[in-house]
Amino acid sequence: MPEGHTIHRAARDHQKLFVGYKVDVSSPQGRFNNGAKSISKLECVAVEAYGKHLLYEFKNDQFLHIHLGLFGRIRRRKLPIEEAKGKVRVRLVGKTHFVDINGPTICEILDEESKSKLIDRIGPDLLRKDADPNKFFERVISSRAKIGTLLMDQSVVAGIGNIYRTELLWRQKIHPNILGKDLDRSQLENLWNDARALLEVGVKRNKIITNFKKAGSVNADSLNIYKKKKCPGCMGVISKIEISGRVAYFCVYCQSETS
């Protein structure tokens, strides 16, 4: 599954490709013909990411809303147009490039009102400058759910996927099973700031990097404990548990279960 940074990266890239231009929108696969028609050949006025949701705004105040889900793919190519590869749900053609989106979980047209409702449902997005960390702190501190669950809940905080969850909790020495209500404000502030910094690096480098010591070397190992056997901090054995349907890795020595 793409983590939040890949969607923000796509949004920043697609802003350059489409904003200010009349975009040809079509559905080579045919499943999105009507939606595509309602925005095609209109000027694209903004492309934004909210968590893992991509929103392309058009001149008629309609939004193309994309969520890739587990299997969706974005393909970006220079013009001229090529034949569609696989089941392309929606194709956007700009001045210099075209973008094909295959297999998204969500591909729909929203009006201003339904777009606002969508954004209200999404938690503060670590990669947005306008994100309000207090919303995240309040949701976590008032919750009896595990922090490992809360970090993956996009209505609590948007942008963290399974790899970042594991790496962030290890970096902040927080056990994934600790309940939200048992964490204190300074732990959450550190978590928020670290997550923001790591995701920003992810967008810039197009890669998840959480271990900066090794990231520059050849065959760089840019992660600390995700899918690893040994903890680089204490050389202890890495444990794993399933939380929210995904495997979380942690070090019992470095990440104490009592906060």
Which residues of this chain interact with Zn ion, rule CB under 5 A? 231, 233-234, 236, 251, 253-254
Q: Which is nearer to Zn ion, 21 or 253 (CB)?
A: 253
Out of 12, 22, 173, 246, the active site residue is: 246
Q: How far is the CB of 241 from Zn ion (least distance, A)?
A: 15
Q: Measured from the CB of residue 195, what is the shortest distance to Zn ion in angstroms? A: 20
CB-wise, 86 or 236, nearer to Zn ion?
A: 236
User: Which of 152, 154, 156, 174 is closest to 164 using CA atoms?
Assistant: 152
Q: Which of 2, 12, 75, 76 is catalytic?
A: 2
Question: Measured from the CB of residue 174, what is the shortest distance to Zn ion in angstroms?
Answer: 13
Q: What angle do CA 193, 254, 161 make, to 5 degrees?
A: 45
Phi then psi for residue 139, to 5 deg, are -60, -40
Which residue in 9, 48, 52, 115 is the catalytic one?
52
Q: First-to-last CA distance in the chain?
A: 30
Tell me whether residue 98 or residue 249 sits nearer to Zn ion (CB atom): 249
Closest separation in Å from C-beta 173 to Zn ion: 9
Active site residue 52: yes
113 part of the active site: no
Q: How far apart are CA 226 and CA 136, in angstroms?
A: 24
- Does 80 participate in catalysis according to the annotation? no
For every residue of 140-186, DSSP letters joined together read HHT--SBHHHHTT-TTTSBS--HHHHHHHHHHTT--TTSBGGGS-HH
Which residue numbers are catalytic? 2-3, 52, 246
